[in-house]
Amino acid sequence: MKVLIVDDSVVMRSQIKSSLDGVDFIEVVGAANNGKIALQRLEQITVEAVILDMEMPELNGIETIKAIRKAKYPVRILVFSALTTSGSMATLDALSAGADDFIAKPSGPGMSLENAVEKIREQIVPKLNQFLNEKEKLSLKQKVESPEGSFSEQTFAKKDLSNFIPSLIVIGSSTGGPPAIEKVLSDLPKTLRVPILIAQHMPPVFTASFAKRLGQITGIECEEGRDGEILNNNKIYIAPGDFHMSLVKVSNQVQIKLDKTPHRNSVRPAVDPLFETAANLYGPKTLAIVLTGMGEDGLVGARAIKSENGAVAIQNKESCVVFGMPGAINAAQLQDAEGDLTFINHLVKRVTS
């Protein structure tokens, strides 16, 4: 994968390049100290991924992303983000403008050059690898195995969603998820008839900013879920960063449970705990939606929902940034419906009205 590094800091450009040195599937083909020069490089050389700083002279990160997308350069864009409230809001703006994913800037007291390079490498290599795999994966035909072994052989009847009315909607997503969720939940009725719970792979601070942004976009109350909170039909809940969010029943009321049990599918929050407990409590009245994202998180949970005669809808490959999560469900043939974000938006609007 041919990579262009764009950052006005000589030190950051050097750290990023060092983090990619020796990775056999990555070739750094150029560098630029601002967005204007980056656009010139894109005209001159073949680039498949751009690693982009947000604050730069001449042309900042958001302006550069918009220019790249307007010119239709076929590149993946990763932005560097500060782990602060302002940094998280700027990152969400970047994702909405067309960035594919983000990387946290290494920070902390006494951060050595070696540690900074290692932290960048730990984040950036898997993200570039997922894009490389998407590019090379013409179709997802391999069998998806699950920890349940023989249970993965079980098949389920497809559910007709044309007249399906759920009592709960749960959504799982990862890479490319925030702008996809924004589109799926846009233009909903201002009074929802069911609660919507979302597990998006994001770190702390980012989930709070995302909840605030989603509330502003939809006009519906949207917050990070709180431990022990009773579900409200007319509300959107986001799993807080670094917590699994699940559901429990206490005195005939459904409550949110937050915990820091071990990572699942290498992430926390994970989609599976939310989906599994939704299946247990809402059974056939559950609608699960799996959007763009890397890996297979949500597969086990989707199978649990189908085993209780609930419904599963997934984003289609053509509209995904990464078809990993919905692709795993597609390979296991667990979905009842599949379509682009407009299709899923129409589905959600119908069942929440």
Residue 201 a catalytic site member = yes
| Torsion 322-183-169-207 (CA) sign | positive
Please, how many CA atoms are within 13 Å of residue 333, restricted to the half-sphere of its CB?
10
Residue partners of 202: CB distance under 8 A and separation at least 6: 178, 210, 241, 269
Question: How many Å separate Cα 253 from the centre of its chain?
Answer: 30
Annotated catalytic residue within 53, 101, 173, 201 = 201
Q: In this structure, what token pair is assigned to residue 203?
A: 């770190």
Q: In this structure, what token pair is assigned to residue 135?
A: 């590019």
Of 247, 265, 159, which is closest to residue 196 (Cα–Cα)? 247
Q: How many angstroms separate the CA atoms of 244 and 131, rounded?
A: 26
Q: DSSP characters for 62-91?
A: HHHHHHHHHHT---EEEEEE-SSHHHHHHH
Residue type present at position 53: D
Ranges of beta strands (E only) in 137-195 are 168-173
Residue 244 a catalytic site member = no
Annotated catalytic residue within 100, 101, 297, 336 = 297
Of 175, 163, 230, 158, which is closest to residue 197 (Cα–Cα)? 230
Question: How many Å separate Cα 22 from the centre of its chain?
Answer: 28
Residue partners of 72: CB distance under 8 A and separation at least 6: none
Residue 167 a catalytic site member = no
Q: Look up residue 221 and give its DSSP letter.
A: -
Could you tell me the maximum CA-CA distance found in the chain, to the nearest angstrom?
A: 66
Do 337 and 309 form a contact (C-beta atoms < 8 A)?
Answer: no
Annotated catalytic residue within 173, 174, 209, 319 = 174
- Which residues share a beta bridge with 2? 27
Tell me which residues are annotated as active site: 174, 201, 297
